[in-house]
Amino acid sequence: MSLAPGATEMLFAAGAGDRIVATVEHSDEPPAARHIPRIGGAGAIDVERVVALRPDLAVVWPGGNNPAQTAQLERLGIPIYRNQVDTLEALPDSLRRLGRLAGTQDVAEAAAREIEARLERLENRRGSAERPSVLLQVWNRPLYTVGGRHLMSDALRLCGARNVFGDLREPGPAVQIEAVIARDPDMIIAIGAPEAAREWLAEWRRFGKLRAVRTGRLLEFTDRRLSRLGPSAVEATEALCALIDSHRTPAKAP
């Protein structure tokens, strides 16, 4: 049983998708996951249905699941596997561990190696061009971004950029507009549905002294897989890097 969308995707990639008896809302990657019965959301599940299904294992995401319900499942005797992935480079080994649990090591190993190869290509692509500071905006009221320990912050690093709030320890901190103005990012990237992202970016245009506004680098990124915490986050990171590259200032000749 998968109790987080990212865990669902990880189990499919590890070769155990056909063994998932139930999952939670928003588990839509890969497409086959959309046919698995739902037992609630990541924050609240139907415990009675979980017990009735008698799963051999429940895979949870410590940063997103309700800890009280996770503890309740443990008291009911349901084994819990905590699948925590904070960096992209942690994905391959996480897949390998799930493969060992499911007895699908060969499939998991192949998927892990493919991710490692793609991450290596991203690491090697960074040259001497500008390393812009970036505000990743994931909500507007209140203004939410990501801290340095979030997978999306790691994605920025691979793209040769810097999270302007990378020093914050919280995964998803709320910040004040005044703090954004003080840090003056080179780019502001709104991550959300197209209409919402455009609305958030439009609100920044009234702050004409912000570097991102002056240089026209208010960018929208609509690939929500970046926050999925599963293998598809790698492909989303590649798209994020392409977006940043298209608005990066070329390096000056020595």
What percentage of residues in the chain have a pLDDT greater than 70? 96
Model confidence pLDDT, tens digit, residues 99-115: 999 999 999 999 999 99
Q: Phi and psi at residue 10, in whole multiples of 5°?
A: -60, -40
pLDDT recorded at residue 127 = 60
Distance between CA 163 and CA 149 in Å, rounded? 10
The string of pLDDT tens digits covering residues 162-198 is 999 999 999 899 999 999 999 999 999 999 999 999 9
Predicted local confidence at residue 253, as pLDDT? 42
Nearest Cα to Cα of residue 218 among 131, 132, 135: 135
CATH architecture for residues 128-245: 3-Layer(aba) Sandwich (3.40)
Vertex 53 angle, CA 50 and 59, to 5°: 55
Please determine, for residue 14, whether its predicted confidence score (pLDDT) is greater than 50.
yes
Q: Where in the chain is the domain with CATH 3.40.50.1980?
A: 5-120, 128-245
pLDDT above 90 (res 66): no
| Spatial contact of 166 and 113, defined as CB atoms under 8 Å apart | no
Q: Decide: helix, strand or coil at residue 190.
A: strand
Pick the CATH number of 5-120 from 3.40.630.30, 1.10.240.10, 3.40.50.1980, 3.40.50.10800: 3.40.50.1980
Over residues 118-142, mean pLDDT: 87
Is 251 a residue whose pLDDT tops 60? no
> What is the mean pLDDT of the segment spanning 35-55?
90
Say what the pLDDT of residue 254 is. 44
Q: Residues of the chain with pLDDT > 90: what percent?
A: 76
Specify the 3-state DSSP secondary structure of 163.
strand
Can you read off the two tokens belonging to residue 112? Answer: 């892990």
Task: Provide the whole-model pTM.
Answer: 0.89
Q: How many CA atoms does the CB half-sphere of 59 hold within 13 Å? A: 29
